Amino acid sequence: MRKLSFLFGSLVLFASCAKEGLKNGATDKSAQISARQESTTFNEVGSINVGGAGAAEISAYDAATKKLFVVNNSAGNNRIEVLDISNPAAPVITGNINIAVYGGFVNSVAVSDGKLAAAIEATDKVSAGKVAVFNTTTHAAIAAVTVGSLPDMVTFTPDGKFILTANEGEPNDAYTIDPLGTVSIISIEDDYAVTTLDFSKFASQAIALKAKGFRLFGKNASFEQDVEPEYIAVSTNSNTAWVTLQENNGIAKIDLTTKTITDIFPLGFKDYNNPSNSIDPSDQDNKIAFGAWPVKGIYLPDAIAVNSFNGTPFLYTANEGDVREWAGLTPVEVRRAGHASVVLDPVAFPNAAALKTNAQLGRLNITTTLGDTDGDGDFDELYSYGARSFSIWNGLTGELVFDSKNQIDTKAAEMGKYVDSRSDDKGCEPEGITLGRVGNNNLLFVGLERANAVMIYDVTNPIKPKYLQWLNTGVAPEGVLFVSADKSPNGKSLFIASSETDGFVKIYTTN
């Protein structure tokens, strides 16, 4: 009787889950898949090379056609490769979409409801860019609209009504032209009408924002010129977007119902003198040695993702770091701590001579734009690029909820994948980040550019993330993409890593 009762209860539970799935508009297949608890372990099943350096930077998947659209800006190319991944174990290139007719490089792609959106920079980078939209079945052009300068990332709102772009607005190398950093909102229902937002209204808050860790240091730049949007995440109800402002060390919040930027959250700094945040700062000490050092990390996040927990939106950032290295930017932003021009305050750094040796902090790249707190010309504090971590932030307040501390670099060292030659810079460089629901678990995928790997965490409770798995990828994974089981061609959750240095796309699936 106990076995029969268990069987009957299981059937009732399955039917209930399936019914609930159908009530929410799911198919029989997706309801059945959602009722099944998948393994959270991923294994590589397929791999394909789409070109050399500059290829496979970002990918987007269309469930209806089982196509993967992959950016290809490798030498001599300016296009989107089209892959058939109906069999994830054997991806095949079936064609491409020429982007050269729209301008310069294609930086990002996204898919929704039979539409492929591509973010395309101008041939001179500083002029207005474009978003081109294509039919995912025929590849025919649907629309092409003008957005801000250097659209670096494109995404659809979950309801499919809007396309958003983060327009970075980088300066030219001479720093004589510095376009506005903007975010464009494209209304699909309104014949692809474009609303482009800038950050000028926050200029009056510049002093207060900088005091909290927001960075403004562009040459002769206004507030709105200096801000550089990088990546966008959108709430599941499509009402709110968050945008990383990488070089500025901040996140902006956008109300999509009113099409206004409502907040900027400065992210502050990370204390590497805390042993749990220990780093290896030297690439010339002939060892991998993590220790506490009198240095602060600037988060400078690249990719961002969002989900909600108990009604609160939580933001997940990959804290890569970035340097402004333009010939016209003077004084030079980046210096090694051991450089003769980096004079350490003798009170703040009584052991300055030892710290400036290559075996200690001498090789560490620091910014010259922060650290002279009393204005006397020497450094009272040292600030390096990135936080060598991923972080979780409260999406309503910008408060730091969780940071992975030193786990990324120490795990890479444990796996034999830590590249000591990057110790002086930004370590493993977490760059890409995405979320996925596998069975009853929310998973976070963090791409590590320099370790050629992805780390998977269970963030079902975002207050207490749990490390699950290490995946080796191609060289320098930039694009990290999750495909849910109900949309996957094989009925299992997929994870797809696209690597910009060697052009490999690798496909992983659950057991």
Q: What is the pLDDT of residues 189-211, one digit of tens each?
A: 999 999 999 999 999 999 999 99
Q: Is residue 32 pLDDT above 80, yes or no?
A: no
Taking CB atoms within 8 Å and a gap of at least 24, the contacts of 398-407 are 398/251, 398/263, 398/265, 398/266, 398/267, 400/267, 400/268, 401/314, 401/462, 401/463, 402/462, 402/463, 402/464, 402/465, 403/270, 404/465, 405/276, 405/277, 406/276, 406/277, 406/278, 406/279, 406/290, 407/467
Q: What is the pTM of this model?
A: 0.93
Tell me the pLDDT of the chain averaged across its residues: 94
- For the segment 134-177, what is each residue's pLDDT rounded down to a tens digit? 999 999 999 999 999 999 999 999 999 999 999 999 999 999 99
Interatomic CA distance for residues 294 and 401, integer angstroms: 23
- For the segment 111-142, what is each residue's pLDDT rounded down to a tens digit? 999 999 999 999 999 999 999 999 999 999 99
Task: Record the tokens describing residue 419, joined without a space.
Answer: 């590249």
How confident is the model over 453-473, as a mean pLDDT? 98
- For the segment 10-31, what is each residue's pLDDT rounded down to a tens digit? 333 333 343 333 333 344 444 4
Interatomic CA distance for residues 141 and 136, integer angstroms: 10
Task: Record the tokens describing residue 275, joined without a space.
Answer: 């042993």
Domain locations along the chain:
45-510
Residue burial 74-87, b: 16+ Cβ < 10 Å; e: rest: beebbbbbbbbbee
Q: Return the percent helix, strand and coil in the chain, to nearest 5.
A: 15, 40, 45
Residue 415: its pLDDT value, please?
A: 98
Task: Record the tokens describing residue 405, joined without a space.
Answer: 């501390």
Interatomic CA distance for residues 165 and 133, integer angstroms: 13
Residue 432: its pLDDT value, please?
A: 98
How confident is the model over 220-240, as a mean pLDDT? 98
Among the listed residues 429, 134, 391, 114, the one whose alpha carbon sits nearest the alpha carbon of residue 242: 391
Q: Is residue 65 pLDDT above 60, yes or no?
A: yes
Q: Is 73 left (phi over 0), alpha (psi -120 to 50) or beta?
A: alpha
| DSSP letter (8 states) at residue 277 | G
Q: Is residue 33 pLDDT above 90, yes or no?
A: no
CA dihedral 448, 454, 455, 459 (to 10 degrees): 100
Q: How confident is the model at residue 511 (pLDDT cuts 50, 70, 90)?
A: confident
Residue 62 DSSP SS3: strand
Q: Is residue 6 pLDDT above 90, yes or no?
A: no
Q: Report the percentage of the chain scoring pLDDT > 70.
A: 93
Interatomic CA distance for residues 199 and 204, integer angstroms: 11
Residue 37: its pLDDT value, please?
A: 73
What's the CATH number of domain 45-510, 3.30.70.3000, 3.20.20.70, 2.130.10.10, 2.40.37.10? 2.130.10.10
Q: How far is CA 36 from CA 44, 214, 440, in A?
A: 22, 45, 9
Residue 134 DSSP SS3: strand
32, with CB counted inside 10 A (0-12, 13-18, 19+), is middle
At 258, the amino acid letter reads T
Backbone phi, psi, residue 226, to 5°: -75, -30
- For the segment 351-374, what is each residue's pLDDT rounded down to a tens digit? 999 999 999 999 999 999 999 999
How confident is the model over 317-331, as a mean pLDDT? 97
Pair 153, 242: CB distance under 8 Å:
no
Q: Is residue 341 pLDDT above 70, yes or no?
A: yes
Sequence-distant (≥ 6) Cβ neighbours of residue 194 within 8 angstroms: 145, 146, 147, 184, 185, 186, 187
Q: Which helix (H) or strand (E) holds 33?
A: helix 28-34
Residue 36: its pLDDT value, please?
A: 56
Q: What's the count of helices (H) and strands (E) in the chain, helices before strands?
A: 6, 33
Interatomic CA distance for residues 303 and 290, integer angstroms: 26
Q: Is residue 99 pLDDT above 50, yes or no?
A: yes
Q: Is residue 270 pLDDT above 90, yes or no?
A: yes
Interatomic CA distance for residues 165 and 150, integer angstroms: 10
Q: Is residue 1 pLDDT above 80, yes or no?
A: no
Interatomic CA distance for residues 87 and 194, integer angstroms: 38
| Number of residues that make up the chain | 511
How confident is the model over 400-409, as a mean pLDDT? 98
Can you tell me which residue has the tokens 């269970």?
458
Residue 20: its pLDDT value, please?
A: 36
